Structure 1
Amino acid sequence: MVPSFLRRLSRFSLSWKPLEFSNSSFTRIPASQKIEEETIPDYITSRYYPTRIGEDIERRYQVVGKLGYGATSRSFWVEELQTTCYTCSRRRYVTLKIFITSTSMGQRLDDELRMYKRIEKGSRSHPGHQAMLGTPTIIGKFVDLSSSQSSTKTTSATFSIGASAVVFGVGLFADNIMFGTADDSIFRDFEEAELQTPSPRKELDGRIIYLSRELGIPKALGPPVLCDFGSAIPGDIEHSEYIQPNIYRAPEVILEAPWTYSVDIWNTGCMIWDIFEGESLFTGHDPEFQTYRSRAHLSEMIRLLGPPPPPLLTRGNLRSKFFSAEGMFCFFCFLSCEFCAGIPLLNRVQLEERESTFEGEEKLAFLRMVRRMLQWQPEDRRSAKELEQDKQFIVCIIPFHTLFSRSSSNTPPTILIAAALQHLSMVAHQGEYLGK
């Protein structure tokens, strides 16, 4: 039984006075100029909750500024107005992700909420617009990610992942790796900047659309956090759905063979290559159609890794789409022949020839790490736990602290490189994920 004094104590909470966002010296953007979420295809104003800087959310949180936007949500920086945390000496900072109206989201919103509940504590929801709260994280956007093709800023609420969670977290690419930080100064600076120099905005039909404000770079980073489980699915059974970003798609997915956690290892291997090398290992660019096609992707895999083993092809429902019986035999012997899908195989290229960032022992360690992840057969790939236990993978022969100072014109931002090296270690401790 709970002691009576604790029951009485639980009725009370600490509270803070709301901030005054009364500074009117902000830039007014013409109503005819499209900005932020307005630039998204099929944008409909009424789908978005008309959030205003300074407003309070359920009398508990006050909106301080806008962090980013996407096709299905917007993210805002908010501060607590009250809390039951009696050890807190000052208000806490939180990311608030507000979705568009539930009816326009279809099943996706319900799926994401259900997955967060499965992963952690669950999320509050109410009819209409739904929201998620997350602890402060630093967005991968604050560095110039050369491999990013996104034309819009996106942020996501983040939650720590329970070790017992068994889910496939889709959207596994560099933009979905964020960082924790204990450096509150960047949050206070964000607040002060909004008070002194309010965000530019436009007003249209009684609604306000703000320009997003970026957080500063912290003095110290916490561990990387894998974010965005909008299309995540339970991972305790085999699947056959078509998943993953095109260039990160595992061969078993392309062939429509049963897949499970090992597609995440393939996805992460491709992502790490992109971050280190500054270019994609596979493009899937079809010379005939001038766009991504699975047949071109498979052709690139064969060129780099050699022919796919018979057991993998046997499991693939789409094997006849890409391989004829004669062609399969030729591929096994690696004779000169042509995909039955109508695209020629180019001359074999070794992984060493593609790698241009490292030399000596560093190069050997990096290639060894990538090869352990990029195997045709899913069962031949190292598991996240095995890679985490492999100290050569974690440090890649390179002293970890040098990753933050290494810089060259060919190397993308080193903070994301460090995050990529830590990613599978995080996965091993926090549950397995799959990238879509």
Structure 2
Amino acid sequence: MVEEENIPGYVAARYYPTRIGEILKDRYQVVGKLGFGASSTVWLARDMDRRRYVALKIFIKSASMGQQLDDELRIYKRIAVSQRHPGHEYVRSLLDSFDIDGPEDKHRCLVHPPLWESVLAFLFRNPIRRLPTPVLAVTLHRLFLALDYLHTECKIIHTGIKFSPNLYFYSLLIILSDIKADNLMFGISDDSVFTDFEETELQDPCPRKEVDGRVIYISRNLRMPKQLGAPILCDFGSAVFGDEEHSEDIQPDIYRAPEVILEVPWTYSVDVWNAGCMIWDLFEGGSLFSGQDSEFQRYRSRAHLAEMICLLGPPPPSLLARGKSTPKFFSEDGEFCAGVSVQGHTPLQERETSLEGQEKEKFLRLVRKMLQWEPEKRSSAKELEQDEWVQNEIHK
């Protein structure tokens, strides 16, 4: 099996049978395959009208995606309304969208500026799996600008969730969109990366497999650009509007914010909590929380809360009073009584191992601004963009 065939519940007929060299919408000529996922494949293409390269994200059958496709377009339309904010350039834009008639159903195609690889993939280029301090600082600075733009100008929360029960025949897929390293991608200012990709495909076609008249291509990587562009925040497939009330269960397990676990209505600050957790993945070589329950040998909310208490101390009564699920984990007196023990208090300064002295203290002050029990006490993205540690590092 190759590429998307390895995805559990894979059904070939759900994917549009894209072919290299094919022209879509009488305008976009497919050059090669960049990647694949459970709900889409991504291709590099030539925009023959504008004489530029673009990335085509072609989704599986529209009937399998439900309302998500239209919701994502609504998000992109709101993102495009205001472009004067400095964070606009660090949010992935939508150039075009259209539907393709497939053998069985329509397929939505989103057209984006092409990017290089994700911060997560870049992280794995480093043997110690940690971003260098200057790269981390620039990444966070651009991320905070992007989030400030989304939160203040667009009224959009990046973190969200959509359930797509029809996506797989045998299983329910939960599509998550959150602030994490594989949703941040580096831009490319050098078009030679794309021309080299196209020339390589012409001279040495990628391996492929043909099954029942369909061709499954092996993805080809873009070469390393001479200079990395700015990190861009991507993937708005499950973003939500912030001017609506939300209490849904969201976020991947280890990134879940306290208010999400306790069922307190959440808003823009869940993105800030997400970013705070992500920093540990990028800079410390491991996740801040695991949520692994020794009794059940898997993630459980109670284990996650116990880890939060170990790191941050007990949650304030004002937060507990607002949570629908508080009685599952805490007594009326605010004592944690969920059936797992809380290990001794381990403050952030004991968990941080990459920095020393004043630089370490400044860095930890930044992290503490994001990792607060109470959503209202977390700093805004705008405040974080002006943080002392971030500003010092990007101006060195």
Q: Give the TM-score band, short-chain normalised.
A: 0.7 to 0.9
Query: 1:370 aligns to what?
Result: 367
Query: 1:52 aligns to what?
Result: 19
* Bigger strand fraction: 2
| CA deviation after TM superposition for structure 1 residue 400, in Å | 5.6
Aligned residue runs from structure 1 range 90-105, under 5 A? 91-105=51-65
Q: Any conservation in 2 of the 1:142–1:217 contact (CA below 8 Å)?
A: no
Task: List gaps (5 residues or longer) in structure 1.
Answer: 1-33, 84-90, 148-159, 332-338, 402-436
Query: 1:143 aligns to what?
Result: 122
SS of the counterpart of 1:131?
strand
Aligned residue runs from structure 1 range 354-365, under 5 A? 354-365=351-362
Confirm whether residue 107 of structure 1 aligns to residue 85 of structure 2: no
Deviations 1:255-300 (CA, angstroms, capped at 9, x unpaired): 0011111111111011012111010111111111111110000000
Q: Any conservation in 1 of the 2:44–2:56 contact (CA below 8 Å)?
A: yes
Query: 1:125 aligns to what?
Result: 98
| CA deviation after TM superposition for structure 1 residue 63, in Å | 0.5
SS of the counterpart of 1:109?
helix
2:29 maps to amino acid: Q
Identical columns (%)? 58
SS of the counterpart of 1:130?
strand
Q: Any conservation in 1 of the 2:250–2:256 contact (CA below 8 Å)?
A: yes
SS of the counterpart of 1:136?
coil
Query: 1:271 aligns to what?
Result: 278
User: C-alpha separation between the residues in 2 aligned to 1:294 and 1:167?
Assistant: 26
Q: Any conservation in 1 of the 2:207–2:218 contact (CA below 8 Å)?
A: yes
Aligned residue runs from structure 1 range 412-423, under 5 A? none
Question: Deviation above 6 Å: which 4+ runs of structure 1?
Answer: 160-163
| CA deviation after TM superposition for structure 1 residue 216, in Å | 1.2
Query: 1:261 aligns to what?
Result: 268
Name the count of aligned residue pairs.
Answer: 337
User: C-alpha separation between the residues in 2 aligned to 1:348 and 1:110?
Assistant: 46
User: C-alpha separation between the residues in 1 aligned to 2:97 and 2:156?
Assistant: 20
Larger gyration radius, structure 1 or structure 2: 1
| CA deviation after TM superposition for structure 1 residue 125, in Å | 3.0
Task: List gaps (5 residues or longer) in structure 2.
Answer: 82-93, 131-145, 160-176
Which one of the candidate residues 292, 297, 307 is aligned to 1:300? 307
2:339 maps to amino acid: G
Q: Any conservation in 1 of the 2:44–2:114 contact (CA below 8 Å)?
A: no
Q: Any conservation in 1 of the 2:123–2:282 contact (CA below 8 Å)?
A: no
Q: Any conservation in 2 of the 1:282–1:297 contact (CA below 8 Å)?
A: yes
Which one of the candidate residues 213, 216, 225 is aligned to 2:220? 213
TM-score (norm 1): 0.74
Deviations 1:399-430 (CA, angstroms, capped at 9, x unpaired): 566xxxxxxxxxxxxxxxxxxxxxxxxxxxxx
Query: 2:84 aligns to what?
Result: none
Query: 1:349 aligns to what?
Result: 346
Aligned residue runs from structure 1 range 234-245, under 5 A? 234-245=241-252
Q: CA RMSD, aligned part only? A: 1.8
User: C-alpha separation between the residues in 2 aligned to 1:258 and 1:393?
Assistant: 31
| CA deviation after TM superposition for structure 1 residue 199, in Å | 0.5
CA gap of 1:58–1:125, structure 2 versus 1, over 3 A, is closer
Structure 1 window deviating more from structure 2 (137-146 vs 109-118): it is: 137-146
Structure 1 window deviating more from structure 2 (34-43 vs 108-117): it is: 108-117
TM-score (norm 2): 0.81
| CA deviation after TM superposition for structure 1 residue 142, in Å | 4.5
Query: 1:3 aligns to what?
Result: none
Q: Any conservation in 2 of the 1:97–1:131 contact (CA below 8 Å)?
A: yes
